[in-house]
Structure 1
Amino acid sequence: MLALATAILASLNLLSSATPLSTRVDKKCTIPSWTLQSIKTTYSDETYTPGNALLVITKSPTNETESLDCPLMFNSVCRLERTPADPNLQVYLQINMGSASITFNQTWACEAQAGETVGSRFVVGSGEFEVHCPDEVTETMTCTGPLGGTVVVNGAVTTVTPDGEIQEA
């Protein structure tokens, strides 16, 4: 019985001193996240002039901050297929008066083993937040946010298999 207890303790000690897989992956490839610092939307008559959304985001792990200017289709949807600083980052914003949601989708290259690149990986994250809009709705009103400070959106890794299936990595 003493031998079994000693073996279990030795195994636990070995496990506690081992480097967790997530730590090993993080040292090579930190999964991106994004912080929405501010948003300002300006609405319009939407017939002749589209509304506009101005977003300020900070990307991690690089801590690069970028201002994004995006037309609002139908005064409610902003879609950027790439940002000026990152051709691999897509941003989707949907706003409806006092609430909004944002989704980030980034192509992600990460070394799996020394010299081996994992193909077709994406990091996707989305978040919801509140914005402040005037009490009186007008065609030229401006909404700002996010209320309560910044919004952090953590990414989750997905992989596209050779047959086109999307899987969580």
Structure 2
Amino acid sequence: MRKQNHVIYREIQKPRQIWAWVLVMLIALLFWYIFIQQILFGIPIGSKPAPDVILIIAWFLFGVIFPAVMIGFIKLITEVRKDGIYVLFMPFHFHYRNFLYKDIEDYESIDYDLSNFGGWGVRINLKGEKAYTMYGKQGIKLFLKNETVVIGTQKPNEIIKAIDLLTRKG
């Protein structure tokens, strides 16, 4: 395993939106209901029920795997290290996305609106700006040589302070 660069600041964000959890649980419950009715009790669902194999696969994906991933694995990790800012959006990224200080021309703390990016997650807006956000409306905006990136944070002052310390801006 590769040695990690010294971490100065680390923030881990997990989803907190009630509506998202309700949606995940409703989807899971629907697939559990269909699975129990058709597979366990032998009562077909609908006028043209799906074959049992397809139903078992769908139940496993949306009744077991999907909620497990949403509850246990989804998180946004932001790290300020000696050489740059690192972002990992689990389970969608397999490796940290890094934004090295040598490529950062400027940065600032911002308040943004969901309309800027169309929601939370990994997003690209009409201006070509990329965002890594979990929840909330605060973040830092990185002006890189070739792109602009927004990283959502619940502690913008702390992350800016850490970056200032390392870039000697503060």
Name the TM-score class by shorter chain. Answer: under 0.3
Which structure has the larger Rg over C-alpha atoms? 1
Q: Quick check: which one's strand share is greater? A: 1
Q: Quick check: which one's helix share is greater? A: 2
